[in-house]
Amino acid sequence: MKGLSHLLLCVRSSTCARVASNLSQFEKVALGSVSAATSFQTRKMSSQKFQVTKRLQGTEKNVWVDISKMAVENKALNLGQGFPDFMAPADIVNCLKEVVSSSDLMTHQYARSFGLPRLVNALAKIYEPHLGRPVDPMTEVLVTVGAYGSLYCVIQGLVNPGDEVIIIEPFFDCYKPMVTGAGGVPVFVPLRPSKEGTVTSSGDWKLDPEELASKFNEKTKLIIVNTPNNPLGKVFTRDELTMIADLCKKHDVACVADEVYEWMLYDGNKHIKMASLPDMWERTVTIGSAGKTFSVTGWKTGWCVGPKHLVHCAMVVHQNCTYNCPTPIQEAVARGLELEMSRVGSPDSYLTSLSEELRPKRDFLAGQLEAAGMRPVVPEGGYFMLADYSNIKTDVPDGEEAKDFRFVKWLTVNKKLTVIPPSAFYCDEHRHMVENYIRFCFIKEDSTLEKASKILQGFKG
């Protein structure tokens, strides 16, 4: 056949035309099919055939894509997507500057697939005291493209078609498409405001223990717990985490603990790692983010930490997906974490000082929202705040879309202020629970928050 394919190529050129007259019957037949193939009719690409795959259908809409685009188009003040609008900390930026100007050739070449050794070592060291156990940097840590990458690898690596995954509402929106994309079945359970009408703190939102227990069954593979929570800012207490952990142990379920806001805590609230609870290490994968930890969301570097048998499943996805992450960023994050470890307990520690920097911003925004007639749900952690806007008089048009989406779009177009509609963090059935709320991001310059305040005060008139 090798000879024939050579011949077929040859016959296409006129210089080889003479060869064709001496062909065997078999070769002529073969050539006949070639000439038929070269005179084919070009078919139009079928719009039926080339749609997004069935497993991704229903996930086309994305709140970040839509709302961020609107903010830009309307030149609105952006308190929507969660990123700081001020310069990243000088120390961490300097780490990257030093790294890129280093003469080490390997700085600019591929890193180890599962994470640069210096970074996985630093991560293991920084987490060990919080987990109360040793962490093997080579088998129990995986570095990914953002915490998104870790969530994707863990979910793809562990969820089989038909497996159920319990998701606590409100949830970071990508959990749902990641679960359905893996063929899994999301099972939603909402945090419910415990003091209807007078909710003032994210701590007032609680799980109903019976409702939660009723979601566990033989098909349950995972539960995703996000503490501090986005968008609510709830910091789960030890009792709440223990209740979830007990259900995991009773039903042999693993926990994905999304803890990207682990360092942002207010009013003495403590972040408790799910993986540090008794017998939970072996069934928990903890997810973190350099973007959140060091206020460098554009560095898009995250990680997961957990027992080898679970992290291995995520590694299998990662090695065939992105394979590795950018070397200079990993090196800089490693140096930043090392610096942090040398500063534990000192006022220079960025991880401690960040919360101190954020708390007055949170309090200012909460005060301004109240003055404008909204009812803020003051967060215990993270850098988002929900506010009930139902007392505000507006001329938001009616429509099919959820009320909070319509309000946010109206606010962006008419008042030039962009926030996030929190029903994006709920399943369709439960969206109505937050249609009277909007989410503000407060990791912003004071001047930005003041501008937002002016817009908000305009509602009073």
Tell me if 324 contacts ligand PMP by CB under 6 A. no
Q: Are 287 and 304 in contact (CB under 8 A)?
A: yes
Non-local CB neighbours of 243 within 8 Å, separated by 6+ positions: 207, 209, 212
Cα 188-194-195 angle, rounded to 5 deg: 145
Tell me if 364 contacts ligand GLN by CB under 6 A. no
Choose which of 176, 283, 292, 375 interacts with ligand PMP (CB under 6 A).
292
Nearer Cβ to ligand PMP (297/352): 297
Non-local CB neighbours of 142 within 8 Å, separated by 6+ positions: 114, 115, 150, 153, 303, 304, 311, 314, 315, 318
Nearer Cβ to ligand GLN (223/420): 420
b/e sequence 325-336, b meaning 16+ C-beta within 10 Å: bbbbbbbbbbbb
Choose which of 172, 281, 294, 442 interacts with ligand PMP (CB under 6 A).
172
Choose which of 302, 307, 381, 422 interacts with ligand PMP (CB under 6 A).
302
Q: Is 166 helix (H, G, I), strand (E, B) or coil?
A: strand
How far apart are the C-alpha atoms of 439 and 437, rounded to whole Å? 7
Query: In the window 226-245, what residues touch ligand GLN (CB under 6 A)?
Result: 230
Cα 434-436-440 angle, rounded to 5 deg: 80
Tell me if 139 contacts ligand GLN by CB under 6 A. no
Tell me if 148 contacts ligand PMP by CB under 6 A. yes
Tell me if 68 contacts ligand PMP by CB under 6 A. no
Nearer Cβ to ligand PMP (77/443): 443
Rounded to the nearest 5 percent, the helix, strand and coil shares of the chain are 45, 15, 40
Binding map of ligand GLN across residues 47-86, x = CB under 6 A, - = no contact: -----------------x----------------xx----
Q: Is 316 helix (H, G, I), strand (E, B) or coil?
A: helix
Nearer Cβ to ligand PMP (11/168): 168
Q: Are 164 and 221 in contact (CB under 8 A)?
A: yes
Contact partner, 81, from ligand PMP, ligand GLN, none, Cβ < 5-8 Å per class: ligand GLN
Q: Which tokens in the block code for residue 450?
A: 């003041």
Query: In the window 177-236, what residues touch ligand GLN (CB under 6 A)?
Result: 230
Binding segment (CB under 6 A) for ligand PMP, from list 108-116, 144-152, 246-254, 347-355: 144-152
Q: Are 148 and 362 in contact (CB under 8 A)?
A: no
Q: Least distance to ligand PMP from the beta carbon of 300, Å? A: 6
Nearer Cβ to ligand PMP (82/184): 82
Name the residues that contact ligand GLN, by CB under 6 A.
Answer: 64, 81-82, 230
Name the residues that contact ligand PMP, by CB under 6 A.
Answer: 82, 146-148, 172, 226, 230, 258, 260, 289, 291-292, 297, 302
